[in-house]
Amino acid sequence: HPTASGLPGHGFVRTRRWTLEAVERLPDGQVRVALADAGGPMPGFATDWRVRLEVTVGAALDIALTATNAGST
């Protein structure tokens, strides 16, 4: 991390344990997998947050990452 040597260089979410939230087969035969991590305050990141990664596999590969501020600030 450029300003805090105690924090990971590329963010803390990539090293956390994610939870399998959903696996579904879509009507067109594609498969969608959703992983989530809802964490509390972390060093250097003072608010609650939620991250969801959704991967859809079919004729194409679609990836969506959504980060949400779940705190009051």
- Residue (of 47, 45, 51, 46) closest to 67 by Cα position: 51
Tell me which long-range contacts 31-39 makes (C-beta under 8 A, separation of at least 24). 31/56, 31/57, 31/58, 32/56, 32/57, 33/57, 37/13, 38/70, 39/13
**Residues 36 and 19 sit within 8 Å (Cβ to Cβ):** yes
Instruction: Give pLDDT tens digits for 45-68.
Output: 667 778 899 999 999 999 999 988
Of residues 22 and 41, more confidence is placed in 22
pLDDT band at 32 (very low <50, low <70, confident <90, very high): very high
Strand partners, 26: none
